[in-house]
Structure 1
Amino acid sequence: MTTRAKHRPALIETAARLFRRQGYAATGTNEILAESGAPRGSLYYYFPAGKEEVGAAALEAAGKTVTRTLTALAAETSSPAEFVKAYLELLAGWLEQSDYRDGCPISTTLLETAPASQKITAAGQNAFRHWQAVIEAVLARHGWPEARRAGTANLILSAIEGALILARAAQSPAPLHAAAEELALILEQ
């Protein structure tokens, strides 16, 4: 691994984890450095523009992770309803495992930074576009009407993000389970 890339992945992963857990504003660059184990000064070495640049990189990386998860679930499930249920079940498990501390790093960060930070906003928009594309592909593969695919995918994505926020606030997986059941009913019609 080159010197240039040695600590970069740890900084990005740590920033994404801290942003999803405590938000962008509450996460300082010193905390990212300390938790990542990267040497002092390395954050600005890898990200000369500072926190905003590492923030955009963290959202990009987190977005790609979710896209890979959604793509894998799309390949493993036999219907849009099963796909949504499987993903919301994963989210419920991850949220419970974190003791309701972890949210979506994209939404959590965007709520604090958009539209003020163009870099972070663009990274978040890109993540959401990729997620929506995976959902649209699932719908298309199962014969969902073309005219309704984008709107239905947007509804699914919005319901997932909203249910995640509600579950975190309630410290209960119930909103995620309820969203899964209601979305499944819509998708099975």
Structure 2
Amino acid sequence: MNNVPKIILASKSPRRQDLLRLMDMEFEVMLKDVDESYPDGLTPQEVAVYIARKKAEAFDGTLNGEVVLTADTIVCVDGLILGKPETPDHAVEMLQTLSGKVHQVITGVCLLYKGRYNNFFDVSEVFFRKLSDQEIKSYVAEYEPLDKAGSYGIQERIGLIGIERINGSYTNVVGLPTEKLYAQLINLNK
């Protein structure tokens, strides 16, 4: 895309990489280990942005004109923040918690460019139908939910059969609010 500097995507998420490719963005994946803990008392939106910014800070002072793109996606249901599950059993528990409920998917994004941090977030509401234990256990056994906030991918079977509707951005639920990202990227030099 013209007028946008090369992007350093600080994420191993294949879904985020796919979204950037679909946007015709030139990018390179570069990873740094970052502690994803956060202080108590933050709202879910603040948590997502806090972690995204923390990821970007690991790159401060190491760039040559590129823009660093970091993101963190969390799922929130009934005031409880669900990150990535630690085990398959934990994934089953998370999906049982989401089953039959409305939850929020929040993605915090940070763009680091020329020493400036641009933080933003997006929130989508996801309506899950009641899932059977068999549907949940089968999904966890056949897919790889351990790298996904809330233990599911919207583009995978559980998302395709379980989600009744979404209020908000589909790509945000995938892991990157492309609509907001595009608007921020084209205004980087303004």
User: What's the TM-score, normalizing by structure 2?
Assistant: 0.30
Q: Which has the higher contact order (CA 8 A, sep 6+)?
A: 1
Structure having the higher strand fraction is: 2
**Structure possessing the higher radius of gyration over alpha carbons:** 1
